[in-house]
Each structure stands twice: as C-alpha cells, then as structure tokens.
C-alpha cells in the first residue's frame, strides 16, 4: 500500500472498465462488512473476465464465494442473505446464462418490497456481462436488458466508462432496491481516468438515497445542436465515434449516455431533444420490442412540437445472436448510426 493509500487518498488513475469495477467492488467490501460477492469461478480464478481478480485472496472465501454452476441457486441464496441483512453481489458469468435465474429475479427479487408494503427490502446486485464484440460462442453475447427493464421493482443500469463503472457499482450496492448491473463486456478493456477517492457507504441511508439519485441520472457525453443520439453501455462509444465523423461533414451531434435504463431519466433526454429537434436511439439489443421503442415513444410524446424528424432506432436485428464470424454485421456500428443520422437530417 502506498503512502497516499494509507492516508486514505488514492487520487486519479487510468484504468480499464473491468479494473474500475474491481476497484469499486473492493471499496464496497472494505467499507461494509455486510457486502459479499457470489458467483461461478469468481474466487481464486478472479472470474472469466478477471473482474474479481485478487478479491478472494484479500477478503477470503466467506466474502468472495465460489458457487456451484446454478444461477437460480445463486440468486435464491442472495435473496435469503439479503433478508438477513447482507448485501450480496452476484455475478452471472455470461448474459445468456441468466435465464435459469429469471424466475427468482422477476417473481421474488423484484416483487418482495412491494409485496411486503415496504417492510422488506432486498439490496441485491446482479452483475451481468452483456453484449457482443468479443468473438464468443452461442449464449455468450446477448443483450437481455429490456426483459428486466420491463419488470417493475428492478433498477437496470449500465456504465459506459471506467469512471462511471467505479462509482455506479458502489451506488448499486448502496441501493435498498435490487439492481441489475449490466456490464458491456466488449468495453471491458477500454481505458479512462477514474477518481479513486469517491466512496459511497452502503450502510448510510442518506448517502444511499443520494447515490440512487445520481445513479439514475443520464449524462450528456458530448454537446451538439443538430441531433441527439441517446445510447447506453457499449453503444455510447459507437455514438461518440459517429458524432466525431458527422462533425467532419458539418453536423453537430449531442450524445446522451442514459446510464440507467430503468428508471429512465427522461427529463435530461427530453431537454436535449428539444434543443436539437432530432433523435436517434442506439443499442446493441434487437430493435424489435427493444428499449429503444420505449425511449422513442417517450421522446415523441414529450417533444412532439419540437421534433423536425421521426425518432429513429439503430440496433441489432430480430434474430438470435449470430456466429462470431459475422457478429460485426449484426452489431450497430458507426456506418449504421451515420445512416440514421443522414435520414433524420434529410427531413
């Protein structure tokens, strides 16, 4: 430990998104003895993506728990632990493996607080590496976030940058509500500056409420005047690259990083679209019945008299996730985003 760390001051470091999540988990484990991690191979191995690397060694097997290959059992156990006052953080190894736990998540975890009229809360975080771009096989590159956003009682969030990843995982753990924490695994190796002095204490009710308010808030990642791109997770970097390319052609694009899919920070997005008059929604998940449909509907309802073009959506196709050799034809890239921008600007 350095002198700065010993004094409590860690400063700013340049970290990958995966390392930022690791640092956020470490901070939560340090500050609250009721926080524990659960998942397949998260112990000595450090997880498939090494997101929990070193935590088993430093905090022991009682707080970083290697579980059996049983997603329903992982979440069911976490629910019981939460009822006993713990704050479990579950890792689902890959997005496509979450469905055995779908019943536990949607019928128990999401509904317990409502069912008990607020007397019981389940502060459970479920970490889900999601999305494509890593050349994986079937069931390893899906984007099921809308299934959980549709379920009342769950918070669904996704960081797009290392700085957000470090803070948002702590905010999620501090939440009294269950949080689905979707991690864009195609961006795990993207680097950014992270302020390691930010600490959210999960045992502090007031701090928890403030953390939730910030976790739910969208950020304007790039300002512009002609069109708004609303994106989240891996789509934010794609949107920013598209905005850079469009600027060379004289089109000024504002990029809104939604960060939270449920609840949706509509006021921030609406304010942006009212300024620009146009909106394109970008996500990796299929466009058909995707999160973009809800976002487009909300924007249309609240910006109808400001819109100069229909709200357009760019995303995956309505097919099972394809073989890795053609996944880049499936994923929305800069060219497809720019095509939507051109169509919106043509009105």
Asked if 20 contacts 163 with a C-beta cutoff of 8 angstroms, the reply is yes
How many C-beta atoms lie closer than 10 Å to residue 198's C-beta? Answer: 14
Q: Are β-strands 253-257 and 219-222 bridged in parallel, bridged antiparallel, or unpaired? A: antiparallel
Q: Among all chains, which residue has been given the structure tokens 């509500």?
A: 177
140 catalytic residue (yes or no): yes
SS3 call for 51: coil
Strands 253-257 and 227-231: parallel
3-state class (DSSP) for residue 139: coil
The single residue of 140, 150, 219, 328 carrying the catalytic annotation is: 140
Between CA 198 and CA 167 the distance in angstroms is: 7
What gap in Å lies between CA 220 and CA 134, rounded to an integer?
27
Pull the structure tokens for residue 3. Answer: 């002198």
Q: CA quadruple 130, 323, 239, 261: dihedral positive or negative?
A: negative
Q: What angle do CA 299, 301, 303 make, to 5 degrees?
A: 60
Residue 161 CA to residue 48 CA, distance in Å, equals 20
Cα separation of 212 and 67, whole Å? Answer: 29
Active-site annotation, residues: 140
């Amino acid at each position: 430990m350095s002198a700065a760390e010993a004094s409590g001051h860690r400063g700013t470091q340049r970290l990958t998104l995966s390392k930022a999540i690791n640092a956020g988990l470490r901070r939560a484990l340090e500050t609250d003895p009721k926080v524990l991690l659960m998942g397949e191979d998260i112990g000595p191995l450090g997880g498939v993506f090494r997101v929990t690397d070193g935590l088993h060694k430093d905090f022991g097997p009682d707080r970083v728990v290697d579980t059996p290959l049983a997603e329903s059992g992982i979440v069911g156990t976490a629910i019981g632990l939460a009822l006993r006052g713990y704050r479990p953080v579950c890792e689902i190894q890959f997005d496509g493996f979450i469905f055995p736990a779908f019943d536990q998540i949607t019928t128990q975890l999401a509904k317990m607080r409502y069912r008990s009229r607020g007397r019981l809360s389940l502060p459970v975080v479920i970490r889900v590496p999601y999305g494509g771009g890593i050349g994986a096989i079937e069931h390893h590159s899906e984007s099921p976030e809308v299934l959980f956003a549709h379920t009342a009682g769950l918070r669904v969030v996704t960081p797009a940058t290392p700085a957000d990843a470090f803070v948002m995982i702590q905010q999620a753990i501090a939440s009294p509500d269950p949080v689905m924490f979707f991690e864009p695994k195609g961006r795990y190796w993207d680097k950014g500056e992270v302020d390691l002095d930010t600490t959210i204490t999960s045992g502090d009710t007031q701090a928890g409420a403030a953390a939730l308010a910030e976790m739910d808030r969208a950020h304007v990642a790039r300002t512009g005047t002609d069109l708004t791109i609303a994106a989240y997770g891996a789509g934010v970097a794609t949107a920013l690259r598209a905005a850079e390319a469009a600027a060379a052609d004289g089109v000024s694009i504002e990029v809104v990083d939604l960060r939270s899919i449920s609840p949706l920070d509509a006021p921030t997005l609406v304010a942006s679209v009212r300024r620009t008059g146009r909106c394109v929604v970008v996500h990796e998940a299929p466009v058909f019945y995707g999160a973009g449909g809800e976002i487009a509907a909300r924007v249309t309802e609240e910006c109808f008299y400001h819109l100069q073009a229909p709200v357009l959506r760019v995303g995956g196709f309505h097919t099972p996730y394809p073989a890795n050799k053609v996944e880049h034809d499936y994923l929305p890239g800069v060219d497809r985003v720019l095509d939507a921008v051109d169509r919106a600007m043509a009105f």
